[in-house]
Structure 1
Amino acid sequence: MPFQLRHASLGGRIFPMSDLTVVLTSCRRPDLLVATLDAFFATNDYPLHEFIVIEDSDDASVLDVPARYPGQPIRVILNGVNLGQHRSIDKAYSQVQTPYILHLEDDWTFPVKGIVARGIEVLKQDSQVGLVQLRADEDLPAAIKKVSPAFGDPGYWKIPPAAHRVWHSFTFNPTLKRLADYRQLPNGYAGFTSEAEISLHYKDRGVIMAWLSDTKVTHLGYGRSNYGSKTPRNLAGWMQDVQRFFSTATLKKWRRSVVRRVAHAKRKRNAGVGFPIDRHRFDLE
């Protein structure tokens, strides 16, 4: 059944029902969460069906967030325990009812109006695009700008799967996507062990990422991640690094790197184009 615009009730308030749901993931960073919400609501001019904040912890203070923004359709999901990023996102997406999702994290700023409408227009106009990246132009590697100059009325770069062996086909940074595309994943994001695996999944299917121009969306949370492990900076930490370097996990990582390089070479050959690679920006393994 096609999606129809109507009105929805949330907490006794009536909101015009749009074609967009925002899902914001957070984990024990209430200060950054509030800064992100303040920045987003200050400039957003696209109607929202619902704004879901999913807190991947037991930090009940997040339940007070909707009261700070009485004019916004915010609903908080408090996991109570740490499910992990992928499972937490799957949980939130399972409750989305609109054709489009704006995926956000709790550490970004949004100084420009109109970017959401422009991004959705890209998804409507270009069926090859599976994801619209909203990060600032300065974060787009120069090598990709040379391959695919921005074009079209919304103004965006199209990043082909062969542009890099791992990245720039998927990200959990601020992005717009179709709910229907997400639902094609048989096990959701929890079926993948990493963001890189999801990116490779879409590369193998020829999915293109669009990078919207002139958004000025910038990152606030450098060094504040609550996902992943942190090695202490002392002798014990140094010993851990040495053990990790010679571990089975490291050998498997090197093997994956070789496999990815071979697959990337095949993608470039099939595309018939020699894509330049900025190794300073891209070689992260």
Structure 2
Amino acid sequence: MEPYTVALTSCGRFDLLERTLGSLLPRLDGPLAEILIAEDSGDARVHDVVRQFGDAYGRIDVILNDPPLGQIKSIDRLYSRVGTEWIFHCEDDWEFFGDGFIEKSFAILEEFDHYSMVHLRDPAELTPHYFFPEAVASSGVRYRAVNPAVAPVFSGLSFNPGLRRMRDYRIVGPYAGLRFPSNEFQVAWSYRQLGYLLACLAEPAVRHIGNERHVRDQAKPPDFASTLSRSIRKRWFRLRRTLSPERDPIVQARRRMEQAGLSFPPSGDRGA
């Protein structure tokens, strides 16, 4: 295993953040380099939560977004602070119950370049047949591959907890530049267009605890005037991309992939 950074996004749900940190931090194995939290509510009470864990787990740095940036720009700002080549991405509404998932995820990602991340959830919580039912093994680690026929978009990446590479972020990111507006759907679709897929550990390690606590993306406009302005900018972005194909984010990402010596067919799974 190599050094990695925990990069966690949060937005004012401090009771859930406390549960997330309380279940995640004791289970982190390997050479953890840093823990970063991006708090997009602008609420400084996040520091009260973090102080509960600092003595036991070392320094936890908080990036307080005030004013809020929204999910995508918050992730971009968070990742700009990462100093390692590996990231364990997480959000503030997850409860971890399994152990050894960092080491197992490294084993898969170090063998297969075309996996963008390793999922940790129980497939039963997701869309039926989201992952192929047959588990395969990599370096003794059992996992399932995503079924792109069932998940044509969200087979490329997910913001669910999981280990991933900064290399792949640099190929596609910054995410806010993919389109206007950018969101998780657009990010996942972009990775899929480049041939990336997901893997999922055969033994689940995390459950979602924020189903009834959805937070409105702070970047989304709340009134008609803002919505209209956003719509105009979105159409201008699309027109500019049509008139100047070389500025298309996917075209640029493919160029960066070539420079990195990577090339994945857009269909099929080479790891399973």
- Which TM-score band (shorter chain)? 0.7 to 0.9
Separation in 2, partners of 1:176, 1:91: 18
Task: Write out per-residue CA displacement over residues 39-73 of structure 1, whole angstroms, 9 at most, x where no aligned residue.
Answer: 11233333310010110022111123342111323
**Structure 1, 62-71 or 32-41: larger mean CA deviation:** 62-71
**Cα 1:86–1:144, aligned 2, differ >3 Å: closer, same or farther?**
closer
Residues 46 and 114, structure 1, Cα contact 8 Å, conserved in 2: no
Residues 150 and 156, structure 1, Cα contact 8 Å, conserved in 2: yes
Per the alignment, residue 279 of structure 1 pairs with none
Per the alignment, residue 203 of structure 2 pairs with 214
**Cα 1:157–1:57, aligned 2, differ >3 Å: closer, same or farther?**
same
Which amino acid in structure 2 is aligned with residue 107 of structure 1?
A: D
Per the alignment, residue 96 of structure 2 pairs with 110
Equivalent residue runs for 1:142-161 within 5 Å: 142-145=128-131, 147=132, 149-152=134-137, 153-161=140-148
Per the alignment, residue 165 of structure 1 pairs with 152
Per the alignment, residue 224 of structure 1 pairs with 213
Aligned counterpart for 1:71 among listed residues 56, 74, 83: 56
Aligned counterpart for 1:90 among listed residues 76, 80, 85: 76
Aligned residues: 220
Aligned counterpart for 2:43 among listed residues 53, 59, 71: 59
TM-score (normalised: structure 1): 0.70
Separation in 1, partners of 2:118, 2:205: 14
Q: CA deviation at 1:144?
A: 3.9
Residues 166 and 196, structure 1, Cα contact 8 Å, conserved in 2: yes
Task: Write out per-residue CA displacement over residues 56-96 of structure 1, whole angstroms, 9 at most, x where no aligned residue.
Answer: 02211112334211132311111122100000010010010
**Structure 1, 190-199 or 123-132: larger mean CA deviation:** 190-199
Which amino acid in structure 1 is aligned with residue 184 of structure 2?
A: E
TM-score (normalised: structure 2): 0.73
RMSD of aligned alpha carbons: 2.7
Separation in 2, partners of 1:90, 1:31: 25
Residue 129 (str. 1) matches residue 115 (str. 2): yes
Residues 87 and 190, structure 1, Cα contact 8 Å, conserved in 2: no
Which amino acid in structure 2 is aligned with residue 46 of structure 1?
A: G
Q: Structure 2: 5+ residue runs without aligned partners? A: 219-223, 225-230, 236-265
Over alpha carbons, which structure has the higher Rg? 1
**Cα 1:56–1:188, aligned 2, differ >3 Å: closer, same or farther?**
same
Q: CA deviation at 1:138?
A: 2.2
Per the alignment, residue 191 of structure 1 pairs with 178
Which amino acid in structure 1 is aligned with residue 95 of structure 2?
A: T
Greater than 4 Å deviation, 4+ residue runs: 270-273
Instruction: Give the match's secondary structure for 2:129.
Output: helix
Separation in 2, partners of 1:190, 1:223: 30
Q: CA deviation at 1:190?
A: 4.7
Separation in 1, partners of 2:5, 2:151: 30
**Structure 1, 97-106 or 164-173: larger mean CA deviation:** 164-173
Instruction: Give the match's secondary structure for 2:108.
Output: helix
Equivalent residue runs for 1:40-59 within 5 Å: 40-59=24-43
Which amino acid in structure 1 is aligned with residue 209 of structure 2?
A: L
Separation in 2, partners of 1:175, 1:113: 13
Residues 101 and 205, structure 2, Cα contact 8 Å, conserved in 1: no
Instruction: Give the match's secondary structure for 1:53.
Output: strand
Separation in 2, partners of 1:272, 1:207: 10
Aligned counterpart for 2:163 among listed residues 149, 172, 176: 176
Equivalent residue runs for 1:241-256 within 5 Å: none
**Cα 1:107–1:144, aligned 2, differ >3 Å: closer, same or farther?**
closer
Task: Write out per-residue CA displacement over residues 95-126 of structure 1, whole angstroms, 9 at most, x where no aligned residue.
Answer: 10111101100010111110111112111111
